[in-house]
Each structure stands twice: as structure tokens, then as C-alpha cells.
Amino acid sequence: MDLANAQKVLQDYYGYDDFRTGQKKLISAVLNGQNALGIMPTGGGKSLCYQIPGILLNGTAIIISPLISLMKDQVDSLHTLGIKATYINSSLTNEEYDERMALLREGYFDFIYVAPERFDNSYFRSIIEQLQISFIAFDEAHCISQWGHDFRPSYRSVIQTLEQINHIPLRLALTATATTEVIQDIQKLLNIDDQSVVNTGFYRENLHFHLVKGQNKQDFLFNYLSDHKQESGIIYAPTRKLVDTIHAQLIEKGYRVAYYHAGLSEDVRRQQQNKFINDEVEIMVATNAFGMGIDKSNVRYVIHHSLPMNIEAYYQEAGRAGRDGEPSDCILLFSGQDSHLPKFFIEQSELDEEKKALEYKKLRAMINYCHTEICLPRYILDYFEEDQKHDDCGHCSNCTRSGEKVDRTRDAQMVLSCVMRMEQRFGTGLTAKVLKGSKDKKVKQFQLDHLSTYGLMKQRTEKEITNFIHFLVAENYLTTGDQKYPILKLTPKAADVLKNNMKVWMHQTEIQQNEAVDFDRKLFEQMRLLRKELADQDGVPPYIIFSDATLKELCRFLPENKTEMLQIKGIGLKKFDSYGQAFLELIQLKTSDQPSHLISYQLYSEGNPIELIAKKRDIQAQTVATHLFKAYQEGGTINWQDFFDDEIEDTVLKAYHTSGEPYLKSIKELVHDEIDYTMIKAVLIKNDLLEEE
Ligand code: ADP
Ligand code: MG
Ligand code: ZN
């Protein structure tokens, strides 16, 4: 079957223009009747790889999925696209079950989602045997393999059962995490040849990795959150107690926040999780018990408050950010003592010595991540795919730490010599007290006030000194060793610093906003509210209706009719029918704000530059432009030089004639980045080329 049909489905149903890497190859394999395996990162678009063939091929596609919550999510989202799909699992009432089975028997569904255990049910099997099946897809296919970290025996045993159902020839497997062993295992079990394995790697360009060390974690956290108030994010903490504490602190500060850990009842956990998924709270504070089966696409940041156990866990948890492909932050807060807790967990575990040694090795790699100078995602990818060469990402905290660094060699020498004078027998707290010149009982008791380093840093606060010691530990000038009570000891690097052979630089980690807010924030907020309202009406999570990426495009393009709206990424025909009109009305309300545009025009006529008008009126420059265009169309005058020069006008007009369409978006794709929508719109209006409703 040819791919033109697949392309059309991509457009009409999903509202996307192009396939992502790997999708085309997998889809065409299935359409051509070949078993296939896709390894694509989280958010890479694996669902589409079975959904599009399922829509195009005759018969019902069976999707094997490990978790009830994932099934529900997928089915909800297929329904918003107008596709017949359902899931059959233990959460159904008897009536629901009977009804769905009856429809299934009639061949009504294009898709059914089931857990592998469903095939143990002989009634279900007998129905499947009589049904026309298009293919069977294994989502999260790494569960098949014993080598995988989420091995599920039923995922493996179902294969044999399926072999007895002789008319299911075609299999598709999809996963985001697969080592070479797991890949080979899946291939063998599902009979997939090498040509039909599509591996796009693990790299996710939209994730911005940051490492924050030697800074007070709480200060950092509060600062970061106050800069990201409207955005959804997850904060992972290592213990229930810390989760409770952070949760309480954030509530106190007025944040909308949920929490989740194994100490809460199942009901409370479900309720907290739903609040987060349905955008009723922005923040989730949780232990690593949270996150399995969460497909929420608009998670803008994942902050780890402490060191994860290994890179595998870290990448999986951090990877819950940015499923919608929008830029997102993955931040790890590291301080020197953080390795004690994971070590404790390993010690307390019931693993045998060999397995423990392996866990220690993995932890070591995780600690090294906190000390590496190389690009952070590159470090992670090198860990997973040793044999491949990876490029620098250009936006992690190691790639971007350029100018801002401070020479702290003098301070470091004071601390290090103090640790030496204290004979490497004490912890951070007491060392800070000595440097501060504190009259603390213990200082007296051990006669530390007689040391030459006593009071050496008295101009600084004890907290500053403590933080600086944490920094020296994080940078491996000091180590706290493996003992029960962390005691400061010098490392070989410390000797070099004391001998003046090495300088100590402190880099300031500053996390930039990930994107220029080149759209109207207020409108975006209004759209989020509208989306939430529609989601509640339909009983689905907001991100199933439109992703954040789609809302942002709407704010940028401000489409004024159906044709323009269908050009927006993520709006297909069915979604337009269900939700388009409501959003069009909201946009119209915004742009046709009657007296408002005249106020802007008045200010403009008085000679105020556009930026200043925007500032004065506390609106986006883009909105001011819309106001002025409206005034122009009503007979006002505009000095077009304020928007573009001859060269830009020329470029835009050429693009307009090339594209043959009067749509901003098609023109924008043809011109260089510096030409923004406002300029394009201005050129079209000046030349009387913009179609009006
Ligand atoms: P995965 O299962 O690989 O983690 P999903 O299938 O859930 O990822 O897709 C992640 C997001 O990417 C979804 O919002 C999906 O609609 C979107 N997406 C998938 N394919 C494309 C595409 N070709 N163009 C734009 N967005 C896409
Ligand atoms: Mg998926
Ligand atoms: Zn980088």
C-alpha cells in the first residue's frame, strides 16, 4: 500500500504536516505486511506508528499495553480523533464488558487495547479467533524481554497463545528503552528481521538538562518555581518525609501542588494524580513511585531534589518532561552528601553481593554525571550507546556555561587547610563553625578555637560557608567518604589547590527561559482555561484535547477561520469540528476588542513606538500590531517602515507567490527566521493580499 494514504490520515486526523523520523518506515512496514520493531524515545510518536496502519487496514488492531491508565489515555485520544477504539480490562463493570465484547464481535472497533493477561480468558480468545485482525502491536515492548528492567512474564507467554491463533500473522513492537540484548530478544520472539528494526536513538532535543550544584537547594527551588508559575512540573524527592516537607512548604507559599508516595492510601494517590493530570494543580512532588503510565504531555520541568540511583532511572524520570516536543527543563540538584542515601538503599536491599556490586557501579556512573565537564545528554547517551558517537546538545548547563565564572581559589584554600588542621576528623557543620569563628560548645570542647584557621572566614555567614563546602564536595575537592557519619576528607585534587597548582572556579548555573514568549501570554492563559472547560465536559485530561504546542501555535498564528485553523499543528478535521469554533471565538474576541485597538492607534499616531505602546498598555507588541492593522483597514494610516523594509517586503511577496496560499504559516515556512508573523501580516495587508472573511 502506498504512503500517500498514510500522509492524508496524518493531515486529516492528526493535523500534522510531516512524519517524524522513523514513523514512515515503521508504518510502511506494517502496511506491507512485515513484522517490525520501533525503538524511539519517549514523546517520539510511537502511537502513530500503529494507529495510522490501524485506521488504514481492514479489521481490528489489537494493542497490547501494560497499564490501565495508558489504555484509557490512548482510547480517549483516539475518540477525540473520531476513531472507534476501546479497552477491555478489569476496571470495567459487567455491563460495560458485555457491551464492548458484543461490539468487538461485530468487528465494530478499529482498535482494542488489552493487557496480555486478557488472552488467558478463553471467551476472549474465542472471540478473537473469529474476528478479522489487522495486526497486533506490543506497546512498551521491552516488557517482553527478561533482560528488560520491566519484564512481565505475561508479555512473553502471550506470544505462544497468539501463535495458536493462526490468522494473526503481523506484529509490531514499540519501545523507548531497549538495550542490544533486549532488541535481539524481541526480534527473535516476534520474528522480526534486521531490516525491519527502526532505531532512532534516545536523544530528545527538546529536553534541556541542567545540573545545579553547590547552591542551596531550597533557594534554588523556590526561585525556579517563582519563574515558572503557570507551568506544570514534577519534583522528585528521595524519601516520603522530604516529599511531605516540600509539599507543605509549597502549599504555604501558595502554589497549587499535589503529592504522591507509597505511604499514602491508594485513594489519595489516585486523587492526587488526577489533580495533576487534569491541570487542577501545576506541581507534583513525589518519590519515584510516581510516574508509571503517566502520559501527561505538557510537563515543562522535572526537578530531582537529590541523586537518583542510576542513569537509567534518571533518564526515565527526567524524560517525563516534554512529551509534546516543547522545550522543557530536566534539573538535577546535587550536593556532595547526596550519594549516602542511594548507598544506604543498596546496602539495605536484599540483593546478593554480585548484584550489589553492579548497583554500586551504576551509582558511580550517576555520581560521575554530577562531576562531568562534557555535555550532559551526551554523557547519558554515551552511557546507553557506548559504540555510537554523539554530538553536544548546545543547551545543557555544561554546554552553556560560558562567561560567568568566579575564581574561588583563595576561599577554597582556607576551607581545605582548615579541614587539614582539623585532621580530617569532622563533618561539614563543625568545619563551617570553625571557619566562622563560632563560640559553639563543641568548638571549645575539641579546642578547635586554637587552630590558625579559626575565624578565617568570619565575614561570611555560617550558611554561606556551609554551601561553599558543599560546592567543594560536589566538585570533588573534598569527599565525605562512605562512613555512616559524613566526615570531610581531602582528595588528590585538594593537594593541587593547596600547592597553588590548580584554580577553583565557580560557575553560576543560570537557567534561561526556554523560549522567547513571542505570543500573548494572557491569551494563552485564556486558552488553557477554555481547554480545561472543554476537557471537563468531555471527561478527559486537557492535554488530550490540544497539546500546549497547539495552543501556542494558535496564539502565534491567530487563525481567523476554519481553513487557517486546519493549518495549525495538531488540529485535524475531527478536532476542528469538536473544539475549533470555541477557540476561533476566543481569538476573535481578543483581536476585535473594539475600543482597545483605537487606544493603541491613538498612541501610535502620537508618535509612540510599538514596543512602548505594548509596555504602556501591558500587552504584547504583536497585539498592538493587530490593533494597528485593524485601524488601518478602517481608514487609519500606518508607516509601514515600522514593520518591514523593502528587502523583507520583497522576500515575503516572493514567498507568497511561491506558496500560492495566502496563509501566514505556509509563508513563514519559506522565509528566514528573522521575519516574524507580524511582518508577514503587515506585508500582506499593505499589498491588499490578506483574504478577509
Ligand atoms: P511516545 O508513545 O513515543 O512516547 P506519543 O505517540 O505519545 O509518543 O507522541 C507524543 C506526541 O507527539 C503526541 O502529542 C503526538 O500527537 C505527537 N506527534 C506524533 N507524531 C507527530 C508528528 N508526525 N508530527 C507532530 N507531532 C507528532
Ligand atoms: Mg507511548
Ligand atoms: Zn549539552
CA distance 431 to 409: 18
Q: What is the mean pLDDT of residues 71-92?
A: 93
439-450 burial, b at 16+ Cβ within 10 Å, e below that, comes to ebeebeeeebee
Is the distance from the beta carbon of residue 324 to the nearest atom of ligand 1 less than 6 Å? yes
Q: Atom of ligand 1 at shortest distance to CA of 44?
A: 3
Contact 526, 591 (CB under 8 A): no
Which range has highest mean pLDDT (36-40, 88-92, 128-132, 619-623)? 36-40
List of residues 6+ apart from 680 with CB closer than 8 A? 652, 664, 667, 668, 671
Cα separation values, 550 from 208, 282, 289, 558, Å: 21, 19, 30, 12
Ligand 3 centroid, distance to 377 Cα (angstroms):
6
Asked whether the predicted pLDDT for residue 598 surpasses 90, the reply is no
pLDDT digits (tens, 9 = 90+) for 631-664: 898 888 899 999 999 999 999 999 988 877 667 7
Asked whether the predicted pLDDT for residue 216 surpasses 90, the reply is no
Contact 490, 419 (CB under 8 A): yes
CA distance 503 to 458: 23
Is the distance from the beta carbon of residue 401 to the nearest atom of ligand 1 less than 6 Å? no
- Choice from 21, 42, 47, 295 to test ligand 1 binding pocket (greatest atom count within 8 A of CB): 47
Contact 52, 83 (CB under 8 A): no
Ligand 3 centroid, distance to 327 Cα (angstroms):
14
- Residue owning the nearest CA to atom 26 of ligand 1: 16
pLDDT digits (tens, 9 = 90+) for 628-638: 988 898 888 89
Is the distance from the beta carbon of residue 7 to the nearest atom of ligand 1 less than 6 Å? no
Asked whether the predicted pLDDT for residue 195 surpasses 70, the reply is yes
pLDDT digits (tens, 9 = 90+) for 508-529: 666 776 666 677 888 899 999 9
Q: What is the mean pLDDT of residues 480-500?
A: 83
Residue 201 region by backbone torsions, left for phi larger than 0, else alpha for psi between -120 and 50, else beta: left
List the end-to-end C-alpha distance of the chain, in Å, as a whole number.
40
Q: Among 104-108, 167-171, 275-279, 410-414, which is the least confidently predicted range?
A: 167-171
- Choice from 20, 294, 553 to test ligand 1 binding pocket (greatest atom count within 8 A of CB): 20
pLDDT digits (tens, 9 = 90+) for 536-576: 999 899 999 999 999 999 998 889 899 989 989 999 999 99
Ligand nearest to the CA of 207: 3
Is the distance from the beta carbon of residue 342 to the nearest atom of ligand 1 less than 6 Å? no
Ligand 2 centroid, distance to 319 Cα (angstroms):
12
* % of the chain at pLDDT higher than 70: 95
- pLDDT at position 666 is 79
Is the distance from the beta carbon of residue 16 to the nearest atom of ligand 1 less than 6 Å? yes
Q: Atom of ligand 1 at shortest distance to CA of 295?
A: 7
Ligand 3 centroid, distance to 393 Cα (angstroms):
4
Q: Atom of ligand 1 at shortest distance to CA of 20?
A: 23
- pLDDT at position 404 is 66
Residue 607 region by backbone torsions, left for phi larger than 0, else alpha for psi between -120 and 50, else beta: left
- pLDDT at position 106 is 94
In degrees to the nearest 10, what's the CA dihedral of 619, 620, 624, 627?
Answer: -80
Parallel, antiparallel or unpaired: strands 133-138 and 197-199? unpaired
pLDDT band (50, 70, 90) for residue 693 = very low
Is the distance from the beta carbon of residue 288 to the nearest atom of ligand 1 less than 6 Å? no
- pLDDT at position 572 is 93
Ligand nearest to the CA of 210: 3
Is the distance from the beta carbon of residue 175 to the nearest atom of ligand 1 less than 6 Å? no
Ligand 1 centroid, distance to 404 Cα (angstroms):
37
- pLDDT at position 293 is 78
Q: Atom of ligand 1 at shortest distance to CA of 10?
A: 23
Ligand nearest to the CA of 399: 3
Q: What is the mean pLDDT of residues 169-174?
A: 90
Asked whether the predicted pLDDT for residue 592 surpasses 60, the reply is yes
- pLDDT at position 483 is 58
Is the distance from the beta carbon of residue 19 to the nearest atom of ligand 1 less than 6 Å? yes
Q: Atom of ligand 1 at shortest distance to CA of 23?
A: 23
- Residue owning the nearest CA to atom 14 of ligand 1: 324
* % of the chain at pLDDT higher than 90: 57
SS3 210: strand
pLDDT band (50, 70, 90) for residue 160 = confident
- Choice from 323, 550, 569 to test ligand 1 binding pocket (greatest atom count within 8 A of CB): 323
Q: What is the mean pLDDT of residues 501-507?
A: 86
Q: What is the mean pLDDT of residues 357-381?
A: 88
Ligand 1 centroid, distance to 324 Cα (angstroms):
7
Is the distance from the beta carbon of residue 13 to the nearest atom of ligand 1 less than 6 Å? no
Asked whether the predicted pLDDT for residue 470 surpasses 70, the reply is yes
β-bridge mates for residue 601, sequence order: none
Q: What is the pTM of this model?
A: 0.76
pLDDT band (50, 70, 90) for residue 450 = very high
pLDDT band (50, 70, 90) for residue 484 = low
Q: What is the mean pLDDT of residues 37-44?
A: 91
Asked whether the predicted pLDDT for residue 386 surpasses 60, the reply is yes
Q: What is the mean pLDDT of residues 416-428?
A: 94
β-bridge mates for residue 405, sequence order: 507
